[in-house]
Chains A and B, each alone.
Chain A
Amino acid sequence: KAGVTQTPRYLIKTRGQQVTLSCSPISGHRSVSWYQQTPGQGLQFLFEYFSETQRNKGNFPGRFSGRQFSNSRSEMNVSTLELGDSALYLCASSLQKGIGRSYEQYFGPGTRLTVT
C-alpha cells in the first residue's frame, strides 16, 4: 500500500506571496491532519479534515487554511507569506472513522517551505 504523499517536496517563496501544498492520504484513509514543524516550536497541529469537513483547528492565524476533497486528498493554503512561515509542513492520514476514537496517524515526507 502506498504511503502518504506530499507535493511539492521543496518550495521557495517570497514574502507576501501565497502557497498551496497538496497531500494524498493512504488509500482508504479518510482523515487528514496538517502539522507545521520548526526547530523552535517543534511539531504543531494546524488542522484536521474528515470527510471534507474541518473537524479540528490549531492555534494558527486565518492566513492558514485547508480543504479536503471527496477523494480524501487535501490541500493547505498559506496566504500573505511571512518569513516565520518557513517550516516543514507535514500531512498525516488515519483511518479514523469517528470522533473520539484515536487511530494511528501516518505521516508523509513533508513539504519544506522557505520564505525569503
Chain B
Amino acid sequence: GENVEQHPSTLSVQEGDSAVIKCTYSDSASNYFPWYKQELGKGPQLIIDIRSNVGEKKDQRIAVTLNKTAKHFSLHITETQPEDSAVYFCAAKSVLVFGKGTRLSVIA
C-alpha cells in the first residue's frame, strides 16, 4: 500500500519568511496529493491540492510542487504570518494516506 513520509516534523520561521514542507510517497499509481491545515480543536482543512498531470499549482501565498519521477511533493508558504501557525498534513491517493504532520510555528 501507499506510504507517505513528511519532513520536518516541526518548523519554526520568522514572520515574513518562507516555509517549505516536503513529502515523499511510495505508490507510483497515486494521482492526487492534497495538503491540509489543522488548527487546534478543528478538523483538517483542505488548503491546496495537486493532481499527477500537473507539476506546480499556486494559490496566493501557497504553492505545491510535484515531482512524479522522484515521488515527492512539497508545500511552499511565502510571507508567513502568525495565522499560518498550525499542523500541516500531506496526503496521497484517493483513500488518503497521510504524513505524520508538520507543526509550523510562525514567530512574530
Q: Which residues of A contact B (CB under 8 A)?
A: 4, 33, 35, 42-45, 48, 56, 58, 90, 92, 96, 100-110
Closest to B91 in A: A43
Decide: B93 and A42 in contact? CB cutoff 8 A. Answer: no
A contact residues around B98 at 8 Å (CB): 35, 42-44
Given contacts A33-B96, A43-B89, contact A4 B34 (CB under 8 A): no
We find that the number of chain B residues with CB closer than 8 angstroms to chain A is 23
Complex: A108 Cα to B46 Cα, angstroms: 11
Complex: A107 Cα to B98 Cα, angstroms: 14
Decide: A56 and B95 in contact? CB cutoff 8 A. Answer: yes
Decide: B46 and A110 in contact? CB cutoff 8 A. Answer: no
Given contacts A102-B93, A104-B34, A105-B96, contact A43 B44 (CB under 8 A): yes
B contact residues around A102 at 8 Å (CB): 31-32, 51, 93-94
Q: Is B42 an interface residue (CB 8 A)?
A: yes
A-B pairs with beta carbons under 8 A, tally: 54
Complex: A4 Cα to B42 Cα, angstroms: 12
Q: Which 8 A-B pairs have the closest CB atoms?
A: A102-B32, A107-B43, A102-B94, A43-B98, A42-B100, A107-B44, A109-B43, A56-B95
Decide: A104 and B49 in contact? CB cutoff 8 A. Answer: yes
A contact residues around B96 at 8 Å (CB): 33, 35, 43, 45, 92, 105
Complex: A56 Cα to B44 Cα, angstroms: 21
Decide: A107 and B36 in contact? CB cutoff 8 A. Answer: yes
Complex: A45 Cα to B34 Cα, angstroms: 15
